[in-house]
Amino acid sequence: MKIDSDTIKHIASLARLNITAAEARQYQKDIEEILKAFEILNSMPSESEPSFQPVPVEAALREDEKEECISRDAALSNTKHKEKGFFRGPRVV
């Protein structure tokens, strides 16, 4: 699998990461080496059902009852960006 540094920059931007041209070149080299080795996956024909979990997970349902949860103050205790009991974020546009 060939992958160029522009593709790496595009993926980084999708993942909200700023990377320099030098970082893009390094990641391109690393990831190309990794993907080349991982091509072994496609040398194995398999139509098995994909296992999204290692064991089957049943739907974990519970009664829809009100339960105690953390307070608003506790939820906001780790942010510097808060106002009037809400998180304050950057502008959207």
Partner 1 sequence: MKYNISVSEFIRKSENGGIDYDGFMSAFREELSKWKGHNFLRLTGDMSCQPKKGLYGLPVSVKDCICVKGMESCAGSKILKGYVPPFDATAVSRVKDEGGNIIGKTNQDEFGFGTFSTNSGYGVPKNPHDKELACGGSSGGSGGLTAALDMPHISLAESTGGSITAPAAFCGVVGLTPSYGLVSRYGLIDYANSLDKLGTIAKNVHDAALMLSVIAGHDGMDMTSLPAQRQNYLQHIDGGAKMKIGVPKEYFLNVDDEIEKNVWDAIKKLESEGASYTEISLPHTKYSLAAYYIIATSEASTNLARYCGMRYGLHGKLEGNSNEYFSNIRSEGFGQEAKRRIILGTFARMSGYREHYYIKAMRIRTLVIEDFKRAFKGVDVIAAPSMPVLPPKFSDIEKLTPLQQYQMDVLTVPANLAGIPMISVPCKNKFAGLHILGNHMQEGSVIRAAAAYEAIR
Residues at the contact surface with partner 1, assessed by CB under 8 A: 3, 7-8, 11-19, 23, 27, 30-31, 33-34, 37-38, 40-42, 44, 46-55, 57, 60, 62, 70, 74-75, 77-81, 87-93
Sign of CA dihedral 45, 47, 48, 53: positive
User: If DSSP codes are grouped into helix, strand and coil, which group holds residue 36?
Assistant: helix
Q: What is the rounded distance in angstroms from the CA atom of residue 5 to the CA atom of residue 11?
A: 10
Could you tell me the smallest distance in angstroms from the CB atom of residue 66 to partner 1? 15
Could you tell me the smallest distance in angstroms from the CB atom of residue 21 to partner 1? 14
Q: Which of 62, 3, 63 is nearest to 30 (CA)?
A: 3
Could you tell me the smallest distance in angstroms from the CB atom of residue 88 to partner 1? 7
